[in-house]
Amino acid sequence: LNKSDSKLIMSFMWVTFISLLIGGLMGLLQTLVRTGNFTLPFGIGYYQILTVHGVILGLVLTTFFIIGFQFALMAKTVGMTSKQRKWGWASFWVMLIGTTASAIMILLGKASVLYTFYAPLKAHPIFYFGLTFVIIGSWIACFVNFRQLYKWKKEHPGEHSPLLAFMVVINMLMWFICTLGVAATVLIQFIPWSLGLVGSMNILLSRTLFWYFGHPLVYFWLLPAYMAWYAILPKIIGGKIFSDSLARLAFILFLIFSIPVGFHHQLLEPGIDPMWKYIQVVLTFAVIIPSLLTAFSMFATFEITGRQKGYTGLFGWLRHLPWKDVRFFAPFMGMVAFIPAGAGGIINASNQMNQVVHNTIWVTGHFHLTLATTVILTFFGISYWLVPVLTGRKIDKKINTLGMTQTIVWLVGMFFMSGSMHLAGLLGAPRRSAFSDYQGSAQAAEWIGYQYGQAIGGSILFIGILIMLYNFFYMTFKAPKGVEEFPIAEAPTGTEPTPIVLENWRLWIGITVVLIAFAYTIPFVDIIQNSPPGSPPFEWPIGNN
């Protein structure tokens, strides 16, 4: 990567790691409040810090890291012109302005609406304008990426696009289509309502538009991790991609099935016809398939590479893996965590079991295993080569050892925190609530041990954040100068060529649109025609703590 590209991508990395510190600190405070033995100072509200935590880690850190990482992949595989780079900067600044505006409103206590900003909770209009800017900034990045691949294809007629560029474009297509939903609710519903231009709004419509966006959002986080698993890890372990076609097919399936599934977040919501909930649950089970393809593909890559290196026996090939290389170890542990995490997702998606876990802290446990372990450990693993590539330095033994330690600290912390969340959730502990003994209820007394478990895990995780920040600073300013490898694996040789149909964008976008129209048109008409009169706004109902 040239210096100008590196500077742009490093700016995204800086926002990522600053967000990690701020958001992580808020997470620690939350777990402490929930033990019942800690009160927030200076009149700071519990929902204020919970909103900072969710918005900064769930929306800001992820979006900045992903867009920066994807720019790196595109610059490396299909190139970046100076004009595209300028637009890349525009995307960065628009997103940063939006983030800052929303963050100020949250910190002032004027937007304690949590990261899902469900109506009728109302935030200051600037909070919604800030979110709009973040989305517009990310759209600029989408179009830069589309343009990059389009230009490359023009210059390489008849050739398959590089796998990583193909994956980035799929992710950004999915992002663009799904953010239309959240943009619609923010612009048409939230902004006029928060400005006082209209007195009420259709709550069910806003929540449905949010979840039309909210579920693909989780795959927007996951797919960059999958990019690293499919196309970067094989290089790090000294092997090749298992199958170029399979990898592309998995990404296409994500594009098609990620969006028409939002109702699995609304299974307990009245006002949506159960038939449509059923259809979207079936589609949810379809979106599990590309993850199962990924699991198969990963095992195959590890086994084939091991056997090629001469390791034998049923599991002997496991020994060849570079266990002491943090670039492999951190993402690999993320993969391992995804086995129980994915099983938890399947439980959530099953209608009857969802009745048990919905709105309990089990769900929080689920996304700390998926997002905060699988995805984040993969992002950390990527940082150990990407940041040195960007800063013209090399990963050395010290940072490798610290990285391995960081990964283990993270896993231990998450074992306690997410484990306690899952168990307390099964005992009925609600998510999104500060400490209460619920008037001495016997049921609530059962949760307290797990709440301490969460605080222990949260404290260990905060140590993990401090180590990661040190690692980031070290890789930026201190690591020895040199040329670090940008590891991109080669496609396997001697296999069937990748079918051309996999790059038929019109076909895949067409199917995606048809499926969305099928899953959402009748429910939307129903929601618009039959919802009860809209609700007026109200401030957080139980005070600000």
Residue ranges in contact with ligand HAS by CB under 6 A = 116, 218, 221-222, 264-265, 284, 287-288, 291-292, 294-295, 298-299, 335-336, 338-339, 342, 345-346, 348-349, 354, 358, 363, 366-367, 370-371, 375
Query: Helix/strand/coil (H, E, C) string of 116-172?
Result: CCCCCECCCHHHHHHHHHHHHHHHHHHHHHHHHHHHHHHHCCCCCCCHHHHHHHHHH
What is the smallest separation between the CB atom of 363 and ligand HAS, expressed in angstroms? 5
Kindly tell me which of 68 and 331 has the beta carbon lying closer to ligand HAS: 331
b/e per residue 156-178 (b: at least 16 CB within 10 A)? eeeebbbbbbbbbbbbbbbbbbb
Among residues 534, 540, 514, which one has the least CA distance to residue 201?
Answer: 534
Kindly tell me which of 137 and 331 has the beta carbon lying closer to ligand HAS: 331
Measured CA to CA, the distance from residue 266 to residue 79 in angstroms comes to 42
Kindly tell me which of 4 and 116 has the beta carbon lying closer to ligand HAS: 116
Kindly tell me which of 189 and 301 has the beta carbon lying closer to ligand HAS: 301
Q: Which helix (H) or strand (E) holds 320?
A: none
Q: Which of 124, 265, 368, 393 is labelled catalytic?
A: 368
Q: Which of 215, 264, 265, 320 is labelled catalytic?
A: 215
What is the smallest separation between the CB atom of 181 and ligand HAS, expressed in angstroms? 15
Measured CA to CA, the distance from residue 331 to residue 227 in angstroms comes to 11
Using the Cα atoms of residue 82, residue 88, residue 94 and residue 99 in order, give the sign of their dihedral: negative
Calculate Rg over the CA atoms of the chain.
23
Residue 34 among the catalytic residues: no
Length of the chain: 545
Among residues 113, 132, 135, which one has the least CA distance to residue 124?
Answer: 113
Residue sitting closest to ligand HAS (CB): 342
**HSE on the CB side for 182, CA within 13 Å?**
28
Residue 327 among the catalytic residues: no
Q: Which of 47, 210, 226, 367 is labelled catalytic?
A: 367
Residue 431 among the catalytic residues: yes
- What is the DSSP code (8-state) at residue 66? H
**What phi, psi does 43 have (nearest 5°)?**
65, 20
Q: Which of 38, 147, 432, 470 is labelled catalytic?
A: 432
What is the smallest separation between the CB atom of 532 and ligand HAS, expressed in angstroms? 23
Q: Which of 219, 230, 329, 472 is labelled catalytic?
A: 219
Kindly tell me which of 92 and 221 has the beta carbon lying closer to ligand HAS: 221
Kindly tell me which of 19 and 291 has the beta carbon lying closer to ligand HAS: 291
Longest C-alpha distance within the chain, in Å?
71
Residue 338 among the catalytic residues: no
**Residue labelled with tokens 């703590």:** 545
Tell how far CA 409 is from the center of its chain. Answer: 21
What is the smallest separation between the CB atom of 209 and ligand HAS, expressed in angstroms? 15
Q: Which of 160, 320, 366, 393 is labelled catalytic?
A: 366
Residue 366 among the catalytic residues: yes
What is the smallest separation between the CB atom of 265 and ligand HAS, expressed in angstroms? 5
Measured CA to CA, the distance from residue 107 to residue 44 in angstroms comes to 9
Kindly tell me which of 77 and 360 has the beta carbon lying closer to ligand HAS: 360
Kindly tell me which of 134 and 371 has the beta carbon lying closer to ligand HAS: 371
What is the smallest separation between the CB atom of 431 and ligand HAS, expressed in angstroms? 8
The number of beta carbons lying within 10 Å of the beta carbon of residue 291 is 19
What is the smallest separation between the CB atom of 306 and ligand HAS, expressed in angstroms? 11
Residue 432 among the catalytic residues: yes
Contact criterion met (CB below 8 Å) for 63 and 138: yes
What is the smallest separation between the CB atom of 375 and ligand HAS, expressed in angstroms? 5
Task: Please list the residues that pair with 538 across neighbouring strands.
Answer: 121
Which residues are identified as catalytic? Answer: 215, 219, 366-368, 431-432
